[in-house]
Amino acid sequence: MPCLREFATAFYVAGGPCVDFHGFAYPTRMAAIVLSDGGLFIWSPIALSPALKAEIDALGPVSCLVSPNRLHYLFLAEWKRAYPQARLYASPGLRKKRKDLRFDDELGDAPPAEWAADIDQILVHGSFLTEAVFFHRASGTVIFTDLLQNFAPDWFKGWRGVIARLDGITAPCPGAPREWRASFFNRRAARAALRAILAWPIERVFIAHGELVTENGATFVRRSFSWLLGKVASL
């Protein structure tokens, strides 16, 4: 079975094994986007198996390795060893956490030259964890990491399923975990970022954890962030 599958135009996804996060099994997922110059933008890379590497190499040269927030970094080192020519981009705060890695740059509110022709981005500030949200123009896909989670109702079993529902991360009404919502000390900054995100012509929603959204993406995002946007979410 192939490791990569096409999610949208020039946009590929690969799933990895689950990782334990405070006793909950979180699936891992990465994106590989083919840029206009033929290079590959690798978002939140998963473990690099020989089979996955072969498919990546067939897709194109890896030019960018990206950590979207400081919780998503586990496999950056092995990808950098495999693709030493790729530029390594840190999410805010990751440089201090992973001093063993030599990052080329840190993500900001504007995309760097390497992917500016294809992908837009913005930082969502205001909480304990700053996340970079991306938008792939050719496919109309917005990319969230932990800020938006969309688990199937039956993904977690037993008491974990109850906690997940109470935490607000399961369909049909998913969003950010409630403890993360509570950490937004600067909601004005977060709302400004979300309004900018909703200004993108969103068709699809790519999510690190949970079910992907292939239609009515803007409506899904607006509804998922009603806890933050308030009346704006109903517009």
Contact 19, 74 (CB under 8 A): yes
Q: How far is CA 198 from CA 39, 77, 104, 158, 172, in A?
A: 28, 33, 30, 35, 20
What was the pLDDT predicted at 234? 42
Domain encompassing residue 77: 4-234
What was the pLDDT predicted at 146? 86
What was the pLDDT predicted at 180? 67
Report the CATH number that the domain containing residue 154 is assigned in CATH. Answer: 3.60.15.10
Give me the number of domains the chain comprises: 1
Nearest to 197 by CA among 105, 132, 127: 132
What was the pLDDT predicted at 159? 47
pLDDT tens-digit series, residues 36-85: 999 999 999 999 999 999 999 999 999 999 999 998 898 999 999 999 99
- 71-108 in b/e form (b: 16+ CB < 10 A) is bbbebbeebbeebeebbbbbbbbbeeebeebebeeebe
Tokens of 121: 């981005």
- Per DSSP, the residues of 182-219 read HT-S-HHHHHHHHHHHHTS---EEEESSB--B-S-HHH
Contact 31, 118 (CB under 8 A): no
What was the pLDDT predicted at 110? 96
What was the pLDDT predicted at 56? 98
Residues lower than pLDDT 70 in the chain:
18-26, 152-183, 231-235
The percentage of the chain sitting over the pLDDT mark of 90, rounded to a whole number, equals: 62
